[in-house]
Structure 1
Amino acid sequence: MILYFFLTSLLFSPSGFTKKPIWADEFNYEGLPDPKKWSYDVGNGNNGWGNQELQYYTNARKENAFVSNGTLKIRAIKESYEGQEYTSARLVSKKKGDFKYGRFEVRAKVPTGRGTWPAVWMLPTDWEYGGWPSSGEIDILEHVGYDPDVVHISVHTKAYHHSIGTQKTASRKLPGATNSFHLYRVDWTPTYIKGFVDDVELFHFDNEGEDKNAWPFDQKFHWLINLAVGGMWGGQKGIDEAAFPAEFEVDYVRVYGWKK
């Protein structure tokens, strides 16, 4: 028994999460994002996802997603491509990094410019309770360029989402979000989802114990990292074409396991 508690103390922090990441990308290499960890959503949103955005998400195109000098860069470019006027990238860890509960960290710097809409978020891998929003969504970081240095953490479920005015979200004015790196984090357990900016709690959503309409967060989710252009939220105040190319920069993403 003593040995068990000693080993547990080495593996887990007092908060119930592992002390070391169980999955991470430190972006300490050069070139395209690691194909063992990342795939791409490709297209312009007409294939079942998107929010009326204007970019075409490309597939392993170094102009839109690359790693250099220790960070991932996702770059939105003003250019004609596949019928769209902008290109960008949307990285996904589906089937390469899928998790049920844990601590999820990203250190990032968001771009400036009206019309930019960067996000680091999570979607269900298997959509066990149906299409969006029934199976849930977790937003670790969002920022819209027309409202600079205001960052957002949210969740979406069938009972709680913006389409019906019940979305669970929290925002914070974060001076320097567009010119320096900050730490964004979500802690997800069977009983709550908490969101933090620079280790200060911003968001709290409890499992109310009712049904899957309110809490579908008992299945595996995966990472998404993208930089959208325009859209229903990012494009509300128009687009400043002079802001492009725009760059979303990520220092690392890390996942810490949760102790049952």
Structure 2
Amino acid sequence: MFISRIAQLFCIFFMGINFSYSQVDVVYSDLVWSDEFETNGALNATKWHHQTQIPAGGSWYNGELQHYTNFLTNSFVENGVLKIVAKREVLNNQGVTKQFTSARLNSKFAYTYGRVDIRAKVPTNQGTWPALWLLGKNITEPGGFFAATHGTTPWPACGEIDIMEHGITQSQPQGYIQSAIHTPSSSGATINHGGTIANNLGNSFHVYSMNWSPFQITFLLDGVAFYTYNPAVKNASTWPFNAAQYLLLNIAMGGVAGNVPSNFNQATMEIDYVRVYQNIQADTQIPTNFTASIGAITSSTIELLLNGTDNSGSLVYGVTYGTNSTTTAGNSGIQKSLVISGLNPNTNYSFSINASDLSGNNAANNAIILSTSTTGVTGCAGTSNLAQQGSFTTGYNYAFETLGTNSVKITYELLDTDKVGLIAYLWRQSPFAETQMTNVSGRIFTHTLTGQTPGATLNYGVKFAYANGMSVTPYYQYVVGNNCNLDTDQFSNQKTIILQNPARDVVLFDQSTAIENVKIYSLLGQKMLDINQPNSSLNISKLASGVYFVIIQTEQLIYKEKLIIRQD
């Protein structure tokens, strides 16, 4: 190695002080397990297990092409670095002949909560799939180190945490590495993931880190966080991460990584060290300087600003309001923003807030009580089943809400229940852009646009992606700061249907085209009527006097008109 171990440890400590406190919720500082790969030759057998048994069916998962071996030619230590080598090599093993060999290492150490740092140089050869990751100790996977003694749970119920993968996202820019979470809530699919660019990947060492607390999992590259997994609801489906996991290091070949070129010979992943940190020191000191105040308020959210200090470096905040409660963690001496969502407009809420450390020591001034009210709604909403791509079986709810003066919160709820592995992306019409939305709960997704100009017109739609397909809404127009009905780019100005306007009791249509559907909305976007295949008149006797919008759909056209109702 090119720098001394003492110098490396100092650099890691310095990096933790400068970066970790502001980017992770819990700081872990006690080194509990590591391998520095100091001895040339075979791996330390007290720390690592070679997983070589082929799964049922005679092949590894995802259509991979390799045999994993315990050969010294596939995994060995040289000059202070572990080398995992994938190579073109014909091998008949367990009755199956394959064209490639590699190594898949299991740590004989498993842990719950903490931080892992792996300094590695990752191969970028086409067709290779290097990975640094974790699986639940309870997985029922043949040949795994813990399977015989602890295997009770199949994948993905055991949970999987991918610290770093490369080679399976060919559509991404050069140097892109991915981190991902696999749980039953996504049916094991790669729905929850993030990524970033590693400079000079393949030629330089980088530190790949994962910080795992009881509250969230954060991924870092060279000490900088780039993706956090923190589901709103944590249960066995979304959060199987309250039990021990073990580490895996490997290079797979082909499959999801694509074709292996005919001129491929071998590729090597070099690992300088693997280090796991937890907090194991006894802690009897209580948190001090605990404060709580109200931050930003909208019609559906209230921000709580929390702070305190503790010798452990981390605090846990528990918040109770009505019959609801939530818990989050923050760093000592750094203000934590906790946004309570799903609230009702123009409603008063009272919050009881407690602070403690991870050892359960409570702040002396628990609990702090805060009360405030949400604001009224500035925005508009509706329900539709229209699609510009794919189709909807039931439809979706949508809402655009102006927060403050220059932010717009966009929320979509998919009403279809027949779609699995759901994820949503916000589409901007011009210039086109795609942004992943946050899953609030169930099938509800949201994203907030900041820095918007009051009075400006936005054009956004949503792509719902799911197993084996996708459905995309039209682009809806919304004026920042307005209470209004939403418009779509599909509306036509062709007057093939004429309304009697103003109207009383009934609205009459003078039409030359058959009408498939009529919807009437209030100015605030509330749907008042939804009629399929109406006659030449529509009963509106139950609607109060006022101004409405009518959306009329024919086989080929959709258009909107203002409707004035006078019932006096």
Superposition TM-score tier, normalisation by shorter sequence: 0.7 to 0.9
1:163-221 per-position Cα deviation (integer Å, ceiling 9, x unaligned): 3xx61101112221111000110000110000000111111011434421000000000
Would the alpha carbon gap of residues 196 and 222 (structure 1) be closer, same or farther in structure 2, given more than 3 Å must change? same
1:87 to 2:113 alignment: no
Match 2:29 to one of 2, 16, 19? 19
Cα distance in 2, alignment partners of residues 150 and 240 from structure 1: 20
1:255 to 2:276 alignment: yes
What corresponds to 1:39 in structure 2? 49
Task: Report sequence identity in percent.
Answer: 36
**Corresponding residue SS for 2:263:** helix
Do 1:92 and 1:222's aligned partners in 2 also have CA atoms closer than 8 Å? Answer: yes
Cα distance in 2, alignment partners of residues 243 and 125 from structure 1: 35
1:24-72 per-position Cα deviation (integer Å, ceiling 9, x unaligned): 011111111110000011044446852210000002x100000011111
Compute the TM-score of the two structures, normalised by the length of structure 1.
0.85
Cα distance in 2, alignment partners of residues 67 and 138 from structure 1: 25
Cα distance in 1, alignment partners of residues 262 and 78 from structure 2: 25
Do 1:57 and 1:87's aligned partners in 2 also have CA atoms closer than 8 Å? Answer: yes
Of structures 1 and 2, the one scoring higher in RCO (CA 8 A, sep 6+) is: 1
Cα distance in 2, alignment partners of residues 258 and 152 from structure 1: 27
What corresponds to 1:98 in structure 2? 110
Cα distance in 1, alignment partners of residues 74 and 187 from structure 2: 30
Would the alpha carbon gap of residues 214 and 49 (structure 1) be closer, same or farther in structure 2, given more than 3 Å must change? farther
Would the alpha carbon gap of residues 241 and 258 (structure 1) be closer, same or farther in structure 2, given more than 3 Å must change? farther
**Corresponding residue SS for 1:21:** strand
Do 1:44 and 1:50's aligned partners in 2 also have CA atoms closer than 8 Å? Answer: no
Cα distance in 2, alignment partners of residues 230 and 189 from structure 1: 34
What corresponds to 1:112 in structure 2? 124
Give the C-alpha shift of residue 150 in structure 1. Answer: 1.1
**Corresponding residue SS for 1:51:** helix
Do 1:113 and 1:240's aligned partners in 2 also have CA atoms closer than 8 Å? Answer: no
Compute the TM-score of the two structures, normalised by the length of structure 2.
0.40
What corresponds to 1:153 in structure 2? 179
Cα distance in 2, alignment partners of residues 101 and 197 from structure 1: 19
Higher strand share: 2
Cα distance in 1, alignment partners of residues 201 and 246 from structure 2: 24
Cα distance in 2, alignment partners of residues 139 and 123 from structure 1: 9
Gaps of 5+ in 2: 1-16, 140-150, 281-357, 359-568
Gaps of 5+ in 1: 1-12
What corresponds to 2:193 in structure 1? 169
Match 2:69 to one of 39, 58, 61? 58
Would the alpha carbon gap of residues 208 and 117 (structure 1) be closer, same or farther in structure 2, given more than 3 Å must change? same
What corresponds to 2:443 in structure 1? none
Match 1:187 to one of 201, 211, 227? 211
Would the alpha carbon gap of residues 40 and 183 (structure 1) be closer, same or farther in structure 2, given more than 3 Å must change? same
1:90-142 per-position Cα deviation (integer Å, ceiling 9, x unaligned): 0001xx21100100110111112110000000000113883111121000110
**Corresponding residue SS for 1:34:** coil
Do 1:125 and 1:222's aligned partners in 2 also have CA atoms closer than 8 Å? Answer: yes
Query: Larger radius of gyration, structure 1 or 2?
Result: 2
Match 2:155 to one of 111, 128, 132? 132
How large is the Cα RMSD of the aligned pairs? 2.2
**Corresponding residue SS for 1:159:** helix
**Corresponding residue SS for 1:30:** coil
Amino acid at match of 2:103: A
What corresponds to 2:482 in structure 1? none
Cα distance in 2, alignment partners of residues 129 and 196 from structure 1: 31
Give the C-alpha shift of residue 17 in structure 1. Answer: 4.0
Cα distance in 2, alignment partners of residues 48 and 87 from structure 1: 13
Cα distance in 1, alignment partners of residues 262 and 28 from structure 2: 44
Cα distance in 2, alignment partners of residues 241 and 134 from structure 1: 38
What corresponds to 2:254 in structure 1? 230
Amino acid at match of 2:267: A
